[in-house]
Amino acid sequence: MADLGAFPITRKWPAKHPDRIQLYSLPTPNGVKASIMLEETGLPYEPHRVAFERNEQLSGEFLSLNPNNKIPAIIDPQGPGGKPLPLFESGAILLYLAEKSGQLIPRDPAKRWEAIQWLMFQMGGVGPMFGQLGFFHKFAGKDYEDKRPRDRYVAESKRLLAVLDRQLQGRAWMLGEDFSIADIAIFPWVRNLVGFYGAAELVQFAHYSEVSRVLAAFVARPAVARGLEIPKSEG
């Protein structure tokens, strides 16, 4: 059995199953990338909830694993060379789990880079822009009298949705017929934009029929439905 005692985070979140991948997360758009990937691949894992309401992401134990105090983060007790591997950043985790499992990333080198390309599109565009729109539409920013910051992110979010809509024309998923890490990266953010952020009308989401179609197919996948609820809420 793997010994994870060298990792301070396990003192705050003890591993009941230290032979499994340890997931430290919340069901946010970035957090569920990891849980959906784990559910889709079938890799054994143990989830731990990092409670933002108690600022657990700022605890010394969590910072020992991710100095950037963001979720998700993982420890794989059977990492490269059979040694435990700590890892943070959701995009890096998706790539690592795809490589470890041999799933959800094309083997063909050109298609593999296409998948990575769309993963980076999410990391550098969709996530930051949708997240800023959420701030200015739903959270503290909604009280700002000057709506120019909000409208800047509305315009950019609409532009990104249009890019996605064009890419999805005639395709089941981002890369074509095969579901991949590109879809796992992108569609939790689309779901959050029109759901939790309540910005569907603001970005005229009804205009993006291809994105809407694929979002519906995404949330209908059993592994996605499970991953969207992990880690479970307390109580």
Residue with tokens 């605890």: 59
19 in helix, strand or coil? coil
Q: Work out the pLDDT band at 112, boundaries 50, 70, 90.
A: very high
Residue with tokens 């059995």: 1
| Three-state DSSP string of 179-227 | CCHHHHHHHHHHHHHHCCCCCCCCCCHHHCHHHHHHHHHHHHCHHHHHH
Q: pLDDT digit string (tens) for 140-198? A: 899 999 999 999 999 999 999 999 999 999 999 999 999 999 999 999 999 999 999 99
pLDDT of 124 reads 98
pLDDT of 209 reads 98
The answer to whether 36 and 184 have CB atoms below 8 angstroms apart is yes
pLDDT of 233 reads 79
- For the chain, the structural domain boundaries read 9-103, 109-223
Residue with tokens 């430290």: 24
| CA separation for the pair 32, 30 (Å, rounded) | 6
Provide the token pair at 207.
């205009």
pTM surpassing 0.85? yes
Which residue from 87, 93, 100 is spatially nearest to 9, judged by alpha carbons? 87
Q: pLDDT digit string (tens) for 192-220? A: 999 999 999 999 999 999 999 999 999 99
What's 54's DSSP letter? G
Fold of 109-223: Glutathione S-transferase Yfyf (Class Pi); Chain A, domain 2 (1.20.1050)
Q: Work out the pLDDT band at 3, boundaries 50, 70, 90.
A: confident
Q: pLDDT digit string (tens) for 78-92? A: 999 999 999 999 999
**CATH of region 9-103, choose from 3.20.20.70, 3.40.50.2300, 3.40.50.300, 3.40.30.10:** 3.40.30.10
pLDDT of 51 reads 96
Query: Does pLDDT of 225 surpass 60?
Result: yes
What's 123's DSSP letter? I
Which residue from 36, 47, 43, 42 is spatially nearest to 74, judged by alpha carbons? 47
Using CB atoms within 10 Å of the CB of residue 44, give its burial: 0 to 12 exposed, 13 to 18 middle, 19+ buried.
exposed
| CA separation for the pair 5, 226 (Å, rounded) | 29
Query: Does pLDDT of 71 surpass 80?
Result: yes
pLDDT of 235 reads 53
